[in-house]
Structure 1
Amino acid sequence: MKFLKSLSVQVMIALALGVAVGALAAAYGGDPARRIVEGVEALGGLWLNALRMTVVPLIFAVLVTGIAQVSDAAATGRLAVRGVAWFLALLLLSAVTSVLLVNGVLAAWPVSETAATALRAGAQAPPAGIATAPDFAAWVKSLAPANPIKAAAEDAVLPVVVFAVFVGFALTRLPAARGKTLTEVFEALGDAMIVIVRWVLVVAPLGVFALGLGVGLRAGVGAAGVLGQYIVVASLAGLVIAVIGYILAITVGRVPVGRWATATSPVLAAAFATQSSLACLPAMIERSRDDLGVPERIANLILPLAVAVFRFTSPAVNLAVCIFVAHVYGIQPSALQYAGAVFVALAVSVGSVGLPGQVSFIVSVAPICIALGLPIDLLPILLAVEVVPDIFRTLGNVTGDMAVTAILAKGELEPEPEPATSQA
């Protein structure tokens, strides 16, 4: 069957099988089965490390090239500059909303300690002292890494991101030929890391199966409930951002509710089916132009630019994943750690646009987890159930893209037609 060829479906099946086999081994296999499962589980750790080794070079490369891309786009004119400004403001709104929303939801609906123990069963414990954040002075000093290579080796992701941002903007100030050469080097590095990640993801079902064995061995199927809670929380974050996009279009863009619903309905249907903003681009342009009355020159500039550099739900859902992981481990990040995580979330949301879904999940979420002082060992298990939240990511992204386009269309006047010259 066709759906079984989907990597996401294969990974979900692998996780379910791993948990089931591990639970059976624990219940009926005795010590020999336990030793075999633990040996296979080590292969899951190897697979996880293969993913982990690409995170820092990949995030550095995509940030540098992403900043160059945004700079090039902004150079195309005043409308593009206004578009990029709206993108950045809405990404910040998305991140802050998620921090408040998800922590509030999990305060009202806390993760069960028993279920959290079950989900942690196949993963390492957080390093000692991980919940300890530096004071404000030390945090500010750490933003500029004295040794970027040392910061990367120590997984100090926030200083690495700051350094990448500086490098990206510095490249845009070099003479065109020299800046382009270095940008192409970083682009090639990012492409090489993506190739490696794709190689690793080819065997994702086996890696997730091996990690699932550990969960099943130590906790049986007790982790199923907390995975369901994760799906609800992450999907809710994406849904709320989509609703905010709706509200902005109606209030700021002054689009009548009925017209907005008519314009977005076919686009949202395409987003639900494809889970790809890029695949929805033709429909977004057509509906914005025909149903919303957006001038063609605005739709043809802003919507491709939005698909290229703007994912409205990315900071919200990525932070929701990380906050959920923090609650599973019982870790409470400090305000400074949240500030750093929001900055990282904004940066990687721009840098990772256009990456394949499984790749973007790892490259977007892992740096935020590290910035919050969280282990990333649960991410492959959460990746296995990312199919549902990913639908809400796409729904929110296309809503945000069309909302910004409608808002910018309100502030842009069409050029006056040339006055007709009378014939003598």
Structure 2
Amino acid sequence: MKIAGKKISLTTQIFLAMILGAILGLIIGEPMTKLGFIGNIWLNCIKMIVVPMVIVTIITGITSQKDVKSLGRISARIMSYYILTTLVACAVGLAVALLIKPGTMANFTGLASKEITGSADITIADFFMGMFSSNMFKTFSDGNILQTLIISVLVGIAILRMKNEAFKETVINGFNALSEMVFSLIGMVMIVSPIGVFFLMAESFGKYGAGIFTSMATLAGTYYLACLAHIVLIYGGVLWFTSGINPIRFLKDSAELWIYTISTCSSVASIPVNMKVAKEKFDVPESISSFTVPLGSQMNYDGSVILYGCVIVFISQVVGVPINIGVMLKVIFLSAILSTGGGGIPGSGIVKLLVMVEAFGLPTEIVGIIAAFYRLFDMGTTTLNCLGDLAGTVFVSKMEEKFAGKNKAKVTGA
């Protein structure tokens, strides 16, 4: 697309499509929901390549490492980052909600709840059992991303351990070629992304109208404020102290990613965009981002746990139940465990939110109301989850640069 001889970037096209779709959805209303299938077709075109993309990116990311030792170092750093930021995220959600007290300002008059379907029985044992596939082909056909990720990690390590160097090189080159093909296909789909984004946004705003802004305003406002606080204080703080990247630069340079996630609400579909931003804006090698970003899409859920904390406080304030330190600690640890469970469950975000509310003996009717407007919250959860993946990837990349610099200094000094 060109205006006055200048080519408009894809990021700008997506942003304009998002705004235009929202405006037309509000003006035209219900008829726009009948065209939502166009956006869903586009999203399906991305989702159809997610499994092959995870396989090739994880395997090429692992095989590009010098050895299993460097892989272990990167894995330890990124997993420590993901676990710690997830725990902090829930604490941020609780703190902001306790400070603002959104439940005391809530008004549910005229709001209808939505029936929540799906199993709420998600245990730690089920989660770990669900990580490992008994049939990799069934895993791929079911689109189970967590199991696909584990299979890819095992295959990647197996390739690194191959004794025959000629065979190893052949296998690595084969996966590199597949990776090139997969991302070429993704590039084709991304060209029409403004069209898909336009119809997705038009459908959402045509369905909910202005109510998407007003009906859940107190909770949504609190939630998005908590998300912003987490981005600036936690992600921004980590990157500033370790990499010299301030929060404003991080938000500015990651614009292509968060515009995309707000409009699609899909973490896995955002993987290629996340890797592109990491490489082009933060100089992260693909050998790192191709491992850390897909991994984060399955185990880093900062946006989700912030929502858990906000909702628990919100419902407690609505019904007049006080929250003490013990309850807050329980919320933090339970949400961290629960956030990484339930892979493959349709609508798992709202189901896991229901599990959290039930675990503290709070009324679940309000969760039904939240479910009816979940798209409004899902834009925030997906965006924060993906920004967390990006921040962690940049953090690990800078740590690897420092590690390589120290080793080089030792060798030079020797």
Say which of 64, 73, 76 aligns to 2:64: 73
2: distance between equivalents of 1:116 and 1:176?
63
Q: Following the alignment from structure 1 to structure 2, what is the Cα–Cα distance between the partners of residues 128 and 244?
A: 37
Q: Deviations over 1:354-384 (max 9, x none)?
A: xxxxxxxxxxxx9995996999995687559
Q: 1:133 aligns with which of 88, 112, 122?
A: 122
Question: Corresponding residue for 1:59?
Answer: 50
Is the contact between residue 11 and residue 204 of structure 1 (CA under 8 Å) also seen in structure 2? yes
- For 1:74 and 1:244, the matched residues in 2 are separated by 25
Q: Deviations over 1:303-328 (max 9, x none)?
A: 67556655699679951233356578
The separation in 2 between residues aligned to 1:161 and 1:313, in whole angstroms, is 7
C-alpha change, 1:153 and 1:205, in structure 2 (3 Å) is same
Which residue number corresponds to residue 237 of structure 2? 243
Structure 1 CA distance for aligned equivalents of residues 298 and 131 of structure 2: 23
Structure 1: runs of 5+ lacking an equivalent = 23-36, 250-259, 283-301, 345-365, 419-424
Q: Deviation at 1:9?
A: 2.8
Code of the aligned partner of 1:215:
Y
Aligned mate of 1:144, from 126, 129, 132: 132
Q: What is the rounded CA distance, in whole Å, between the counterparts of 1:220 and 1:281 in structure 2? A: 34
Measured after TM superposition, the shift of residue 216 of structure 1 is 1.7
Aligned to 1:360: none
Equivalent residues of 1:102, 1:320 under 8 A apart: yes
Cα pair distance change 1:68/1:52, threshold 3 Å: same
In 2: Cα distance, 1:376 partner to 1:186 partner: 39
Q: CA deviation at 1:99?
A: 2.3
CA shift for structure 1 position 220: 5.7
Aligned length: 338
Which moved further from structure 2: 11-20 or 57-66? 11-20
Distance of aligned partners of 1:210 and 1:67 in 2 relative to their CA distance in 1, 3 Å threshold: closer
TM-score normalised according to structure 2 size:
0.59
Partners of 2:18 and 2:197 within 8 A in 1 = no
* 1:17 and 2:10 matched: no
Contact 1:313 1:397 in 2 (8 A): no
Label 1:88 to 1:369 Cα distance change in 2 as closer, same or farther (>3 A). Answer: farther
Gap change, CA 1:303 and 1:193, over 3 Å in 2: closer
Are 2:33 and 1:41 equivalent residues in the alignment?
yes
Cα separation, partners in 2 of 1:306 and 1:115, compared to 1, 3 Å: farther
Distance 1:412 1:229 in 2: 48
For the 8 Å contact 2:33–2:204, the answer to whether it is kept is yes
Contact 1:38 1:214 in 2 (8 A): yes
Indicate yes or no: 2:81 matched with 1:94: yes
1:339 and 1:386 map into 2 onto residues whose CA distance is: 14
- Residues 140 and 395 (structure 1), Cα distance of their counterparts in 2 relative to 1, 3 Å cut: closer
Aligned pairs for 1:148-167 (under 5 A) are 148-152=136-140, 154=142, 156-167=144-155
CA deviation vs aligned residue, 1:176-206 (integer Å, no higher than 9, x gap)? 3245335533652454245335534533023
2:12 aligns with: 6
**Shift of the alpha carbon at 1:279?**
3.8
Distance 1:328 1:226 in 2: 7
In the alignment, which residue of structure 2 is the partner of 1:413?
409
Question: 1:307 & 1:157 partners in 2: Cα distance?
Answer: 17
Deviation at 1:217, TM superposition (A): 6.2
Shift of 1:90: 2.6
CA distance in 2, matches of 1:406, 1:107: 35
Report the equivalent of 1:177: 170
Letter in 2 for 1:159: Q
Paired amino acid for 2:85: S
CA distance in structure 2 between the aligned counterparts of 1:10 and 1:215, rounded to whole angstroms: 20
d(CA) in 2 for partners of 1:54 and 1:212? 23
The aligned residue for residue 323 of structure 2 is none
Change over 3 Å in CA distance of 1:377–1:151 after alignment to 2:
farther
Change (3 A) 1:372 1:61: farther
Residue 221 of structure 1 aligns with which residue? 214
For 2:122, give the aligned amino acid: A
What letter matches 2:200 in structure 1? Answer: G
What root-mean-square deviation, in Å, do the aligned CA atoms of Structure 1 and Structure 2 show?
A: 5.2
Query: Matched residue of 2:117: which SS?
Result: coil
Describe the shift of the 1:339–1:394 C-alpha distance in structure 2 as closer, same or farther (beyond 3 A).
closer
Q: Secondary structure at the match of 1:146?
A: coil
- Could you tell me which residue of structure 1 aligns to residue 199 of structure 2? 206
5 Å matches for 1:367-386? 378=374, 383=379
Equivalent residue runs for 1:202-351 within 5 Å:
202-216=195-209, 219=212, 221-223=214-216, 226-239=219-232, 240-247=234-241, 249=242, 264=244, 271=250, 273-275=252-254, 276-280=277-281, 306=288, 319-324=301-306, 337-340=338-341
Letter in 2 for 1:127: T
- Which residue matches 1:195? 188
Tell me, yes or no, if the aligned pair for 2:20 and 2:198 is still in contact at 8 Å.
yes
Contact 1:148 1:160 in 2 (8 A): yes
1:295-347 CA-to-partner distances (Å, cap 9, x unmatched) read xxxxxxx9675566556996799512333565788899776544548xx8xxx
